[in-house]
A and B are shown apart, each in its own frame.
Chain A
């Protein structure tokens, strides 16, 4: 009997437990009177609700680029390198350069990769003392002191490595993919070390020679560095500023100024003075003088691509200001040509990419091409019309009547004017819209006569009268009949 009671109790526990978590297993009803069904494995939903309106929540999802997936793991052990200050002291004592890595093994998510690569780098036996800045090695001072650890100012995208001469003169800065690869680092450091004797000779001269001679040596040394490194080289910039206070060598315009400084100087010449001292306005400004000034600076020293692009953009700015003040067509061509020169120097750089857009913006023969059905402030032109070519290949399915509309965002329905709508297939004119070519309208109808193949575009002329942020919206091509 006792055994039977224990058995009953066990049955009760097991049954209770089973029912508690899944009553269906016992064939019993769940509260509410229905058998709980197991959740069916779901099929992928149909893509029947893709974006058709400007409502944000109905947006189509973008295709992601393939990227290497690294699963999260525990932080790696720090490198077996000396702490920053210790390594630098050792380098000084040995007369060797120091190479300091700031990476943060305790926080940086993919620090493991950096640690692996730099362990490899250690085995390359570069003639440098390796050191590191890491929370777990040595003493890292307070937050606002950290950026003072290296002679490059605040740095916001770690890891970064800095190569310094034994006396802590800055030799090179390594970031991005380079600092994350032993092979790339080895190559880059060797390249820097190869130019080090000449560079240090110039640095010594910059320090010891008086006045303009010292300034010239500092400029020559800066010119040996990649632009980004030179921009962070406070040591040499200080010498240059100190030894050429009156801009006699013109090198300060190149090496001690960013683009803001350049435009301040150009504007000072254009306006005949800075700030409240300006004497000229509008078409009276000294355009020829400003161009002369810019060209003189460009001839002063050996310019790397960044500086060439910067000062060529400065020239384009002068032409643009001149064109805006006078509307002389020749100046418009000149400024477009100058922007294209900036692009030619390095199309992939920020100057290159930006200048391309500016050139296309001002170039009357260049249309804006849209592959996505949205327009935004970046496509705007103020003061002149621009041709827009909108890809509607996906929306035109066979012959019929189609409505093309520009649907401005509710808060940006500015005074955008659009006219002269035409339909093209593979660059060939197919038909005009139903509205007269000079009528400002945002909705037109096309009667497509036959099945079209290839790239189908609606082409028309647009101007936004409200300037930046004034016009944005969606473009739709819908079959109506």
Chain B
């Protein structure tokens, strides 16, 4: 206890007042966390830093730590632990190199290591630039600009993090960026100025560095500084509208001078304008427009990211914690800015869950610094305990898990101990975050290899339980994860059991998307061979049987049909054409439903021939739906589908081969034809940008739509705009190609 604290406590105790507690105890997650006070560093550390020798400083820090009881109770030990972490993560060589560049830089570093508030913000921001000086140098440049009094340290940290990447994500690739277009100081000044003028979202000032990284953007992917300045002037909308800000620009594949957006000359006439200005004034396609929408949001202090989708680019904005709203077909896809992985939504859901509680995550970070410090001093046992204590506060933090797992391996954890740890300490925390659970467990692959199949299947079942409760999307890639599960198993019967576990866990819960994705993987992996098909069918039948109570043959047959129907709709939600096709075949092999669609009367009016469909997607399903007949709807023979009650129910046909389409023929199912009056047919080449081809306020029983000449499409959508929620049901939605 420090002298000054004793003196103060003496006075306060004499007056009958409670003593001030400087900080939370290690392991006690209930105490409030207070700002960490700066302690003067030991002389040996100071001398090494003054000499710009950070390797020496690191040794001195470790020596000093050895003399201390490293815990949250001792703030000076936490301060030293943070310094240890700064040198570990940045690299002693990088820090020494930076210090050697100038006296000012050396002076900045001396001040920075004493500034516990700033140091803590930097080391707790999520991605901390790893083994390079970039991040600290960005902080220096802002410090230099602010003449040593940095007003917004959180913003500076976000910029440093975005410019420098992190241990798990070395992006951004700064090397190809021109420094006159991507300048962190200019961006810092821009946000400070906008903030002073009150031009940023009311929540901007509450954003932490991990959130601000989605405001200052990833310079390797997002636009130039001038784009921010331009977008702040040129796009001003109610706060909740930035999800459509992309439409401030015109969607155009041709420039004002006739050049295709796919070619190099498109933006050449406007090369002296920022990307935002060039796009707003001249238009663009999904890539430029999504960036425009995102930059417009970010320029107003609203977190956003752009993301890649197959053949498309989209974006997302976030006006309140945890709520990402899609723009231009987002938020799902491969995020161009991220902390824990780039798969939206699972990656950002994990990030929001980890950082959602400011105090808990801050405490966990302090413990993680202590754990690293304990490791550095050679106390592996206490270090392991400290990692576990950090994980009590933040159970899903991937970096803390990785830290613990590395230490467990180093400490020689056996497969049996790892099994117990996974089943009792790791997996129970990951409900709703199944992908994260599987990623975290992957650190212990060697230990998993040392287990029995039965133990592995226990672990996989628990993972699939977590996965089934995880909000997912068609964009989330699961193939690699389940592939690894299957590869770890020793026998085909174990793999069949894995399939059964997968099907039965996902058939019972979830929104169907993950089920569809897993079905796609299973179909691609197993259905190609006879033995594989047998495994698949047995597993599917067993899972279908386990979906309810066992009964007689008719009941079992009905259960199988129900399971197939659910699986087909899941495949549609997951946008999986192979699974959709295979499951439809499987379902029809069980027996075709006794239903015959009415005959088409206008077939002769259509030009070209019916196109083969890869996938039929229904916007929602209902008890009257017949998914095994969905594929038939895309053929002249017809089929049957039935949505739930919706304001805008829709059907989308994905063609096997994109190309020139001539039109489509739509027919309502027999009965209740009064429904589905206002209808729109649109086409798309990327599955996200739709062009209206026909519209009617009173769709007839059979509607022949002719597309303009030269209409290329891979997707054709039929959408109804009902006055209120209502059903939609068609027997035919046949697309014609040349």
A-side residues, CB < 8 A to B, are 9-10, 12-17, 19-20, 23, 28, 30-34, 36, 42-46, 48-49, 51, 54-62, 64, 69-73, 104, 107-110, 135, 143, 146, 154, 156-158, 258-260, 263-264, 266, 273-277, 310, 313-314, 316-317, 320-321, 350-351, 353-355, 357-358, 361, 372, 374, 376-380, 382, 409-412, 467-470, 472, 474
Contacts and interface: CB of A to CB of B under 8 A. Distances in A.
A448 to B, nearest CB: 26
B59 interface: no
B252 A258 contact: yes
B184 A109 contact: no
Contacts of B257: 313, 316-317, 354-355, 358
A372 B712 contact: no
A357 B7 contact: no
B37 to A, nearest CB: 10
Contacts of A55: 174-175, 179
Given A57-B174, A157-B236, A274-B709, 20 more contacts: A12-B7, A15-B7, A19-B3, A19-B7, A32-B41, A34-B43, A36-B40, A42-B147, A59-B183, A61-B145, A135-B238, A154-B247, A156-B237, A276-B660, A314-B258, A317-B257, A350-B282, A351-B256, A354-B257, A377-B271
A320 B105 CA distance: 54
A357 B40 contact: no
14 contacts: A17-B11, A30-B4, A32-B43, A54-B175, A54-B179, A57-B163, A62-B180, A62-B225, A156-B236, A275-B709, A310-B256, A320-B258, A378-B267, A410-B176
B269 A17 contact: no
Contacts of B672: none
A23 B234 contact: no
Nearest to B300: A109
B454 interface: no
Contacts of B269: 353-355, 357-358
B76 A31 contact: yes
Contacts of B189: 61, 64
B358 interface: no
Given A13-B12, A374-B180, A411 B173 contact: yes
Contacts of B4: 16, 19-20, 23, 28, 30
Interface in B140-169: 141, 144-145, 147-149, 163
A263 B256 CA distance: 9
B137 interface: yes
B8 A32 contact: no
A158 B177 contact: no
A60 B180 contact: yes
A69 B196 contact: yes
Nearest to B149: A42
Contact of A411 (B102, B175, B264, B272): B175
B409 to A, nearest CB: 36
Nearest to A44: B147
Contacts, number: 263
A136 to B, nearest CB: 12
Given A409-B178, A472-B178, A157 B256 contact: no
Given A31-B39, A32-B40, A313-B258, A16 B9 contact: yes
A402 to B, nearest CB: 22
B185 interface: yes
Contacts of B266: 468
Residue among B198, B245, B709 with the most chain A CB within 10 A?
B198
B222 to A, nearest CB: 13
Interface string B260-293: 0001111111111100000001100000000000
B134 to A, nearest CB: 5
Interface string B624-648: 0000000000000000000000000
Contact of A17 (B8, B163, B195): B8
B198 A70 contact: yes
Contact of B186 (A13, A57, A61): A61
Given A56-B174, A382-B264, A410-B176, A258 B250 contact: yes
Given A277-B709, A412-B176, A468-B265, A259 B254 contact: yes
Nearest to B104: A45
A410 B176 CA distance: 6
Contacts of B177: 56, 409
B410 interface: no
B219 interface: yes
Nearest to A382: B264
B674 interface: no
Given A59-B183, A64-B189, A357-B268, A410 B175 contact: yes
Most buried by A among B104, B183, B257: B257
B486 to A, nearest CB: 38
A320 B258 CA distance: 10
A57 B709 contact: no
A16 B11 contact: yes
B105 A109 contact: no
B256 A354 contact: yes
A275 B737 CA distance: 13
A20 B247 contact: no
Contact of B272 (A351, A357, A472): A357
A309 to B, nearest CB: 8
A409 B176 contact: yes
A28 B3 contact: yes
Interface in B1-45: 2-5, 7-12, 14-15, 39-43
A9 B176 CA distance: 66
10 A-B pairs with the lowest CB-CB distances in the bound complex, closest first: A378-B271, A468-B264, A72-B198, A275-B710, A59-B179, A354-B269, A16-B8, A42-B148, A13-B11, A32-B40
B248 interface: yes
Contacts of A49: 101-102, 104-105, 144
Given A17-B8, A107-B238, A276-B710, A358 B184 contact: no
Given A411-B175, A469-B264, A31 B104 contact: no
Interface string B200-232: 100000000000000000010000010000000
B258 A263 contact: yes
Contacts of A474: 178
Contacts of B245: 156
B705 interface: no
B5 A409 contact: no
Nearest to A350: B281
Contacts of A410: 175-176
B178 A12 contact: no
B40 A154 contact: no
Contacts of A19: 3-4, 7-8
A19 B5 CA distance: 9
B697 interface: no
A353 B250 CA distance: 19
A258 B256 CA distance: 9
Please indicate which of the listed interface residues A58, A61, A377 has the most CB atoms of chain B within 10 Å of its own CB: A61
Given A71-B196, A109-B199, A357-B271, A157 B234 contact: yes
Contacts of B709: 273-275, 277
A259 B180 contact: no
Nearest to B143: A45
A353 B281 CA distance: 11
Contacts of B239: 107
B96 to A, nearest CB: 16
Contacts of B176: 409-412, 472
Contacts of B148: 42, 45
Given A107-B238, A157-B248, A353-B269, A13 B175 contact: no
Contact of A317 (B11, B144, B258): B258
B271 A110 contact: no
Contacts of A135: 238
Contacts of B41: 32
B268 A361 contact: yes
B10 A31 contact: no
A57 B184 contact: yes
A374 B7 CA distance: 62
